[in-house]
Amino acid sequence: MPPPPGAATSPAATVTATLSPAPTEAPAKPTGLSSNFLIDNFRKGGPIMWPILIVSIIGLTVVIERIFWWGGRWFRRDPKRIEKVFTAIENGDVAEASRLSRGSRDPVLRMMWNGLNHQHASLQGALQVAAGIEIKRAGRFLVVMDTLVTLAPLLGLLGTITGLIRSFSFLGNEELAVQAVTGGIAEALIATACGLGIAIFALVPFNFFTSRVSNLEFELQTAATNLEVMLGAQSAARDEMQIAGTAPSTGKGSSI
């Protein structure tokens, strides 16, 4: 509170007021990219982190694409329609079976439709071609994921080597040698951890998608075998009926 006008101030009070430090503000916390844990570790990982980042982006993109594809296939499945097609073939109505399988998004029904419409030329060949197309669609990008599972740990190992080389290069310099050596070791460990993490992340969905492709291949083979057997039985029955219809009739023997 300021003194009233005309009041005398002591020299000690004046000196105290002059020497008292001004209130200081609390230091602001660091903001921006430097406070980001991931970006800091990315920088510490060295130049090998850039190819590791590219590999991780590709792996994540492939996994998301395959998840959506297999999720869509789950909704495209139509087992009841498949049973209707087999029932129509069993009843000898191949035209109805072809009509039921036409325009379907189920891979099994697409293969059956292709076989039914090319059975006079080569039923087995038509089924194999159609099944191969469906398996190729289901196994798309699996080679990429297999490559990423192998490539990511190798990139991490390369980062380990470069980090250790950087550490040993500073051992002869006594000034700041400890800080430089620890920085190289940190680079080696970060690169190794990132490479192994990406490989583990890609390995699990890779094995899952591979098993799904194997299951689809089994379903296609089973449906193709059933279709061949049923159409073969229908063809054999027609041949027997034609032979029975064209066989000469035997008359009664003449009396002597």
pTM of the full predicted structure?
Answer: 0.71
Answer whether residue 230 is part of any domain.
yes
- CB-count burial class (<10 Å; 0-12, 13-18, 19+) for 6: exposed
Query: Domain for residue 85, yes or no?
Result: yes
Query: Domain count of the chain?
Result: 1
6 in a structural domain: no
**What gap in Å lies between CA 228 and CA 124, rounded to an integer?**
7
Residue 75 lies in a domain: yes
**Residue 250 within a domain:** no
pLDDT in tens, the chain (256 residues): 555 554 444 444 444 444 444 444 444 454 444 448 778 878 888 888 999 999 999 999 999 999 999 988 888 888 899 999 999 988 888 889 889 988 888 999 999 999 888 877 788 889 999 999 999 999 999 999 999 999 999 999 998 888 888 777 766 665 556 666 677 788 888 989 999 999 999 999 999 999 999 999 999 999 999 998 888 887 777 777 777 766 554 444 444 3
Domain membership of residue 201 (yes or no) is yes
Q: Is residue 251 part of a domain?
A: no
Neighbours of 59 (CB within 10 A): 23
Domain range for 154 is: 43-237
Number of other residues whose CB lies within 10 A of the CB of residue 23 = 5
CA–CA distance, 50 with 56 (Å, rounded to integer): 10
Exposed / middle / buried, residue 195 (Cβ in 10 Å: 0-12, 13-18, 19+)? buried
233: in domain: yes
